[in-house]
Structure 1
Amino acid sequence: MSITFKKKVSSTPNTRLPSGTHLNSNGTLLLTSSGISSLDTFIGEGLPIGSLVLIYEDKYSTISDSILRCYLSEVFDGFTHI
């Protein structure tokens, strides 16, 4: 007669994620919001932590200022710690 034991492994990690972040659908990237939900959806669930995001500024458009303001509002609301 032999007795075997198997350790139960949870499919969800027990570690707490930093405030304002979440994992992507694969669970491989730590993401944060850009402050614009439709932009987050378009670029793949959010901005990867530790990545560099460049937004080209057109002198005739103010969209880059709007994106910057939305992201900074997320930071100042305490959702994201830089």
Structure 2
Amino acid sequence: MTHDQILQNLNEVFCDIFDDEDIVLTRDTTAEDIEEWDSLNQIKIILACEKKFNVRLNARDINSLENVGAMVDLLAGLNPSAS
């Protein structure tokens, strides 16, 4: 899975969690860009990503991410088929 595919899949996760089909993530998107992205939704994002990408995420690692691009890079690193 490429970084672009991971970003596209993440976008689907975010649209589902926030019930907003108009969300368009970029590598620079942060929690400040999405009004309802709070700590509860952060947990939902983590759980949905674990399911969608079949990985285990460390909450400490997730909380240190600066933006969606860093999340894409983390998921790519956990997914050996990513390039």
Q: Which has the higher contact order (CA 8 A, sep 6+)?
A: 2
Q: Name which one, 1 or 2, has greater alpha-carbon Rg.
A: 1
Please give the TM-score of this superposition, normalised by the length of structure 2: 0.37
Q: Could you say which structure has the higher strand fraction?
A: 1
Please give the TM-score of this superposition, normalised by the length of structure 1: 0.38
